[in-house]
């Protein structure tokens, strides 16, 4: 059987050339969407008086048969197609005959057809990813609620910087995820435009209704310019860039959790279900899922570079280079979705060792800034002077075997003040000693009242705010998903009515 699309070339493609050109392995994910687009397209052709009732009924019945029995696509002559579009059309022609089935592709090209399919799939991918993001964000808020009083060191340059609470970290991840959610949600509006009817590049002389197809398929409108509709993949690059940004956030979370789960930190313990063992060392409990999230971030980064490199230098109009985008896009989407799912399960089963976190805090010099700020209030000195005094005291404590600052005596402090030539009528060695003794890990947190700080009131505010945001976004996302489900149900009912009216 001659391949359907071969009109000018004589004979079929060379088998090796067909194998090289074929995108069938990557088009499996587009099967459902290609059927959906074809159903809406032929209904529009019928209602535009381009197809007869018999022709549209024949084609719609044939498409339904392929949905219920996709094995038909493996028949000889059909399974030698270059892509899913040719395969489906070949099957319809075999089922209905060329007089009816041969009209299915009227006023349509693979060029607008494939980007339609990709846009429909990406809509679902965006909604699925957004669902997983909100689920992970909920788990983070829950863990934060349970740890508003879990005092721990906070790190910059991987060095203890200030004291904080574990909830502060969990909420920071949640804020990042919400921003990513908003990016996906906004990108959806640019994805959700129909290119169908742009044909190969310059539209069609047939009297078709592009808006009708767009409405049937749940799009908010059409990509108006026919060249833009078939050439542009900016929506795709935007999607992958957001995926990369999300993975970078997951990567940062993974690295934090990996460090905190080590013997040296010991702040958290991963559930056994999300840990791996060593083939040689029986004591090992490795955070392999977190390490893989970290590693897979690099693969998505590579996919983004590959996608943008494929797009670089292409002229306007469809080029076969664009075929190479699909496997990269599918992999990026599935990798991200799987990574979010695993991270949510890790977070929801996390054990927090509050005692270990507090012990590390009580011995930490991360309290130094709080002491310096108290000296500023008590003695009306500049921050830089306070910084110098406390820095010298920390150096003295560290050279004495890393003793905590509250282990310094009045005499120890007096020696340090003399060495740096510091003299103050109020900030005597006795006063500084009392200040150091008064600032515990608990008072350190309590003293900080700036918006967004680890202070308990601020933690409560952020938790309440994030809960309300998640409530709002969950509701909006549910409505968006329901709209697409309603679209599919309406299309199914419309097809049934047309078939019923046209049946003898």
What's the pLDDT tens digit per position in 380-413? Answer: 999 999 999 999 999 999 999 999 999 999 999 9
Q: Which of 20-34, 237-251, 330-344 is the least confident region?
A: 20-34
Tokens of 245: 């940004």
Spatial separation of the C-alpha atoms in residues 243 and 183, rounded to whole Å: 10
Is residue 249 domain-shared with residue 336, that is, in the same domain?
A: yes
3-state DSSP call for residue 66?
Answer: helix
Residue 9 is predicted with a pLDDT of 62
CB 334 within 8 A of CB 303: no
**Which residue of the set 19, 278, 334, 438 is catalytic?**
278
Helices within 69-165 (DSSP H only): 84-96, 98-101, 110-146
Is residue 193 domain-shared with residue 136, that is, in the same domain?
A: yes
CB 222 within 8 A of CB 211: yes
User: Where do we find the tokens 């409530």?
Assistant: 471
Q: Per-residue confidence at 2, pLDDT binned at 50, 70, 90?
A: very low
Q: Per-residue confidence at 5, pLDDT binned at 50, 70, 90?
A: low
Task: Give the range of the structural domain holding residue 311, as residue numbers without chain letter.
Answer: 112-148+163-210+219-354
Domain boundary (332, 354, 376) is at: 354
**Residue 136 φ then ψ, to 5°:** -65, -40
Instruction: Choose between 77 and 246: higher pLDDT.
Output: 246
User: Average of pLDDT values for 74-103?
Assistant: 82
100 Cβ neighbours under 8 A, 6+ residues apart: 54, 55, 58, 59
Is residue 127 domain-shared with residue 231, that is, in the same domain?
A: yes
CB 490 within 8 A of CB 45: no
Residue 157 annotated among the catalytic residues of the structure:
yes
Residue 285 is predicted with a pLDDT of 87
CB 165 within 8 A of CB 147: yes
Asked whether residue 429 is domain-assigned, the answer is yes
Is residue 349 domain-shared with residue 400, that is, in the same domain?
A: no
pLDDT tens digit sequence for 175-195: 999 999 999 999 999 999 999
Beta bridge partners of 164: 152
Is residue 35 domain-shared with residue 123, that is, in the same domain?
A: no
Cα–Cα distance list, 210 to 26, 37, 41, 42, 394 (Å): 27, 12, 9, 12, 72
The pLDDT mean for the chain works out to 93
pLDDT tens digit sequence for 120-162: 999 999 999 999 999 999 999 999 999 999 999 999 999 999 9
CA atoms within 13 A on the CB side of 354: 10
Is residue 376 domain-shared with residue 337, that is, in the same domain?
A: no
Helices within 233-353 (DSSP H only): 234-260, 288-311, 325-348
Residue 80 is predicted with a pLDDT of 63
User: Where do we find the tokens 């012990």?
Assistant: 359
Is residue 323 domain-shared with residue 415, that is, in the same domain?
A: no
Closest CA to 311 of 233, 372, 226: 233
Domain boundary (299, 320, 354) is at: 354
b or e along 287-306 (b: 16 or more beta carbons within 10 Å of the residue's beta carbon)?
Answer: bebbebbbebbeebbebbeb
Beta bridge partners of 162: 154
CB 48 within 8 A of CB 207: yes
- CATH code, 100: 1.10.275.10
Q: Per-residue confidence at 82, pLDDT binned at 50, 70, 90?
A: confident
Is residue 339 domain-shared with residue 391, that is, in the same domain?
A: no
Q: Is 78 left (phi over 0), alpha (psi -120 to 50) or beta?
A: alpha
Number of structural domains in the chain: 3
DSSP 168-213: HHHHHHHHHHHHHHHHHHHHHHHHS-B-TT-TTTT--SS---HHHH
Asked whether residue 479 is domain-assigned, the answer is no
Is residue 204 domain-shared with residue 338, that is, in the same domain?
A: yes
Instruction: Choose between 9 and 368: higher pLDDT.
Output: 368
Closest CA to 181 of 426, 476, 502: 476
Q: How many residues does the chain have?
A: 504
Whether residue 496 is predicted with pLDDT greater than 80 in this model: the reply is yes
**Which residue of the set 49, 68, 157, 503 is catalytic?**
157
Q: Per-residue confidence at 344, pLDDT binned at 50, 70, 90?
A: very high
Spatial separation of the C-alpha atoms in residues 461 and 457, rounded to whole Å: 6
Cα–Cα distance list, 16 to 12, 19, 22, 80, 327 (Å): 11, 5, 10, 11, 20
Asked whether residue 473 is domain-assigned, the answer is no
pLDDT tens digit sequence for 401-410: 999 999 999 9
pLDDT tens digit sequence for 438-453: 999 999 999 998 999 9
Percent of the chain at pLDDT > 70 equals 95
CB 234 within 8 A of CB 240: no
Is residue 293 domain-shared with residue 426, that is, in the same domain?
A: no
DSSP 321-361: GGGGHHHHHHHHHHHHHHHHHHHHHHHHT-EE-HHHHHHHH
Residue 85 annotated among the catalytic residues of the structure:
no
């Amino acid at each position: 059987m001659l391949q359907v699309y071969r009109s000018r070339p004589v004979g079929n493609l060379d088998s090796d050339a067909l194998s090289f050109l074929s995108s069938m392995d990557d088009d499996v994910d587009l099967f459902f969407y290609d059927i959906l687009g074809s159903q809406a397209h032929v209904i529009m052709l019928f209602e535009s008086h381009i197809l007869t009732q018999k022709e549209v009924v024949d084609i719609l019945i044939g498409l339904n048969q392929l949905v219920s029995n996709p094995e038909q696509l493996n028949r000889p002559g059909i399974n030698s197609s270059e892509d899913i579009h040719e395969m489906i059309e070949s099957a319809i022609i075999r089922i209905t005959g060329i007089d009816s089935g041969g009209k299915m592709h009227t006023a349509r090209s693979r060029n607008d057809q494939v980007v339609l399919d990709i846009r429909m799939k990406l809509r679902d991918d965006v909604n699925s990813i957004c669902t997983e993001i909100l689920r992970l964000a909920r788990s983070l808020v829950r863990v934060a609620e349970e740890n508003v009083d879990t005092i721990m060191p906070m790190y910059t340059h991987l060095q203890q910087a200030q004291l904080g609470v574990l909830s502060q970290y969990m909420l920071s991840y949640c804020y990042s995820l919400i921003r990513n959610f908003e990016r996906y949600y906004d990108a959806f509006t640019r994805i959700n435009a129909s290119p169908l009817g742009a044909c190969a590049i310059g539209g069609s002389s047939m009297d078709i209704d592009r808006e009708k197809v767009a409405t049937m398929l749940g799009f908010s409108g059409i990509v108006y310019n026919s060249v833009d509709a078939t050439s542009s993949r900016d929506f795709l690059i935007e999607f992958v860039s957001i995926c990369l940004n999300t993975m970078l956030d997951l990567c940062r979370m993974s690295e934090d959790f990996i460090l905190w789960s080590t013997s040296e930190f010991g702040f958290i313990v991963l559930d056994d279900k999300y840990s791996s063992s060593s083939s040689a060392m029986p004591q090992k409990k490795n955070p392999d899922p977190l390490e893989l999230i970290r590693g897979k971030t690099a693969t998505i980064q590579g996919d983004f570079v590959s996608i943008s490199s494929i797009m670089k230098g292409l002229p306007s109009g469809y080029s076969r280079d664009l075929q190479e985008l699909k496997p990269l896009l599918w992999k990026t989407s599935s990798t991200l979705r799987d990574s979010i799912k695993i991270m949510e399960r890790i977070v929801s089963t996390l054990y927090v060792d509050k005692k270990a976190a507090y012990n590390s805090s009580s011995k930490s010099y991360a309290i130094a800034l709080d002491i310096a700020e108290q000296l500023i209030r008590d003695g009306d000195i500049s921050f830089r002077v306070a910084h110098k005094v406390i820095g010298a005291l920390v150096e003295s404590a560290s050279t004495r075997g890393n003793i905590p600052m509250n282990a310094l005596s009045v005499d120890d402090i007096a020696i340090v003040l003399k060495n740096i030539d510091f003299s103050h009528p109020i900030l005597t060695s006795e006063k500084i000693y009392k200040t150091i003794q008064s600032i515990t890990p608990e008072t350190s947190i309590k003293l900080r009242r700036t918006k967004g700080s680890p202070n308990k009131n601020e933690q409560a505010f952020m938790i309440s705010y994030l809960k309300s945001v998640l409530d709002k976004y969950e509701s909006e996302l549910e409505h968006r998903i329901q709209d697409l489900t309603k679209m599919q149900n309406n299309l199914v009912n419309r097809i049934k009515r047309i078939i019923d009216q046209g049946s003898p």
